[in-house]
Amino acid sequence: MALGPALWLGALLLASLGGASAPASLLRRLGEHMRRFQESSVLGQSPGPGVAARPREGWLEQPLDPFNASDQRSFLQRYWISDQHWARRDGPVFLHLGGEGSLGPGSVMRGHPAALAPALGALVIGLEHRFYGLSIPAGGLNMAQLRFLSSRHALADVVSARLALSRLHNVSSSSRWVCFGGSYAGSLAAWARLKFPHLLFAAVASSAPVRAVLDFSAYNEVVSRSLTNTAIGGSPECRAAVSTAFAEVERRLRAGEEARTALRAELGACSSLGRAEDREELLGALQALVGGAVQYDGQAGAPLSVRQLCGLLLEGRRNGSRPVPYHGLRRAVQVVMHSLGQRCLSFSRAETLAQLRVTEPQVSGVGDRQWLYQTCTEFGFYVTCEDPTCPFSRLPALPSQLELCEQVFGLSTWSTVQAVAQTNSYYGGQTPVATQVLFVNGDMDPWHVLSVTQDLGPSVSALLIPNASHCLDMAPEQPSDTPSLRLGRQSILQQLQTWLKLAKKSLVRGGV
């Protein structure tokens, strides 16, 4: 594995999901920063033993509205292809689906598709999601255009790409196409197999939140539980310290202008805390920082692991002095801001709204406007702290997050409620009636509670990896990998080998 594991995190953090408020944007900023670092490092390597050959970039002309044959408008969708391990024309094709961000050459150089390709002689293709990265249709991101952005449109692109790429690259009609994806793209992989089993042979869906939900309070339930997990450096004392630190921040926010000014300086905040909405956003940003330590725990390159975060919050306990969790939280903010290369912690609601209302494509952006639109019109996924065991502030509450849909797109809360229900009705939520789908999750990942974690039948399998975080199974192998993670990766290979062997036998017998 030529690419250092620290460089992989960008691809994973880019799939951080969540809404597009300032708190949720914290991880997305980090993901974009590290993805750029990853891509420049990958492309700067010289081919040699163990180093993947440089993948090729391609473009497909796709219909803007695949559900209206009379609409002749189209756009160019980017893809990446690597035939380094493609042994024969009828070998399998691994299709790595992009999610809510740009997709670079790393999509065919690392992750499950590239790692499994040598053993199975596969052609590897990475397909960027419409309206993200460089696959944005002409006309920008106004509401008239965004109505062509949805998971259903993305699946239509997968079908069109599957047919076009077979012709372009002379793929045998007997080749088996397997979809891969992580996070939202993992859901797409599972749904592609669910809806188009005659075109897509199987799917590996990592950390795939297939159940849409408006109020995702369960996210912080997992975060709270994970902060007490001694196997990853947590403890009941750590969770209590988090709660104490947030209570101190809230106390200072309520204590008047002088206390808020001091808090702003101590946390390195970019703007004042005079507005109630900005105070909510600050609490949300701090919550995202702690949640991110859990969501990406143990992944090389992450700014904070649970062990490191707890160490900061409980600093001083070892030498007998009393730890001050608030000071540890301040240190944690500094660590993350340093990794981002940012001078200060941004949380202005007005600034967030201004950025989300920009309809011109942002080449260097991570698709915040587009992803917010998808959460408003399909998924919800708004992380809240409603449960009594939640260690954070109760703010920002669900209504303030839903207000973004109204303020940015003019979409009512009721329309989002209906959209979430329709998504689950269309795909089946956590009980999709599919075959040959493998769902892979880590039990520390807050998103696993929206995925499939138990077998649904003989050909819909679930793999739940103990103490593993979001999409950790997709990361390159490293010496610190746990035995359960290594076993999980072996199970993925074995499952694909089993399915492909059965298909080959069926073909020999004259089956489909």
- Rounded to 5 degrees, φ, ψ at 179 are -90, 140
Set 297, 368, 445, 481: catalytic member:
445
What helix, strand, coil percent values describe the chain, rounded to 5? 50, 10, 40
Tell whether omega for the bond before 396 is within 30 degrees of 0, i.e. cis.
yes
Classify 459 as helix, strand or coil. coil
For 436-446, letters b (16+ CB in 10 Å) and e give bbbbbbbbbbb
- Other beta carbons within 10 Å of 351: 15
Whether 445 sits among the annotated catalytic residues: the reply is: yes
Strands 93-97 and 123-127: parallel
Closest CA to 396 of 405, 386, 406, 387: 386
For the purposes of burial, counting CB atoms within 10 Å of the CB of 492, is it exposed (0-12), middle (13-18) or buried (19 or more)? buried
Whether 129 sits among the annotated catalytic residues: the reply is: no
**DSSP letter assigned to residue 111:** S
Classify 169 as helix, strand or coil. coil
Please state, in angstroms and rounded to a whole number, the distance separating the CA atoms of residues 97 and 191: 12
Set 33, 112, 153, 470: catalytic member:
470
For the purposes of burial, counting CB atoms within 10 Å of the CB of 483, is it exposed (0-12), middle (13-18) or buried (19 or more)? exposed
The amino acid that residue 478 corresponds to is Q
Closest CA to 309 of 230, 227, 247, 383: 227
Return the structure tokens found at 486. 């290594």
Please state, in angstroms and rounded to a whole number, the distance separating the CA atoms of residues 59 and 512: 30
Please state, in angstroms and rounded to a whole number, the distance separating the CA atoms of residues 204 and 212: 19
* Cα–Cα distance list, 285 to 226, 292, 392 (Å): 19, 10, 11
Whether 470 sits among the annotated catalytic residues: the reply is: yes
* Cα–Cα distance list, 129 to 64, 274, 465 (Å): 13, 39, 28
Set 151, 183, 206, 393: catalytic member:
183
Q: How many residues does the chain have?
A: 512
Closest CA to 393 of 281, 296, 512, 235: 281
Which residues are tagged catalytic? 183, 445, 470
